[in-house]
Amino acid sequence: MQQQRREVILPASSSTRRAANGMAAAAAVCLFAILPKCSGFAPVIIPSQTARPSQLGLGQPQQPPPSSSSPTRLHSDWSDFSYIDDDDDLLDDDSMKGIDFADENDPQELKAQVGSSLEPPELDWFGDPLEVPLGSALPLEPETIQGLLAACRNEIGTMFGYSAENRGVGITGGVDFVELDGPIVVLRLKGRFWHQRPTVLDRVAAYLQGRCPEIIDVVVEDEWQLTDEANNAAA
């Protein structure tokens, strides 16, 4: 009778299992270190039951590599920041500071009261205004232009600062006769206007030419006088 061989599989001891698991973890670490060197290959490691995440470098926050294309951001602690005491310092004109102007809807008495503290535009001619109807044909002479200009200051007076009421709301503008350049009248604009300066010049020109048809054109002595910069710089 032939003796029958039996293979007995004994259960692994706990020490044997720990050794096997340790070897598996070591193999996984080696594999993780070698495979990333192969281009295009990104291994996914599944730890064994006994391998700890810290042993495999898992479960720990990873810092992204610095990027050369990302701009460096500098942060200020505002230690050199200073406060501007008065925003009026930012204005480009300080000639009107300290004056509490009236509003255009305020009573005329209040406007006049405020405007009386300001000097009116200076005049260089003190003759009588030459008030004639539109369509008149007065001769082209300096005295005629001066008289018509004096009447124009009254006719469209809301544009100028010759009245205290207008100065009370901040209008200090005036117009002067400079010279006759042939059939061209040369004027000077000064002070501050509410209207655009080219508009003021057009209104004055229409008044003069409507009563002295010999006038070919009405201009200012300096084109800068028609700019907003000139108006803002005026008192």
Question: Of the spans 68-77, 82-91, 188-197, which averages the highest pLDDT?
Answer: 188-197
Pairing of strands 184-190, 174-181: antiparallel
pLDDT at 234: 86
Q: Which of 220, 215, 145 is nearest to 184 (CA)?
A: 215
* pLDDT band for position 213 (cuts 50, 70, 90): very high
Instruction: At 96, give phi and psi (nearest 5°).
Output: -105, 5
Distance CA 151, CA 155 (A): 6
pTM: 0.59
Element (H, E) at 27: helix 14-34
Q: Per residue in 100-119, pLDDT tens?
A: 888 888 888 988 898 898 99
* pLDDT band for position 141 (cuts 50, 70, 90): very high
Q: What is the DSSP letter of 128?
A: -
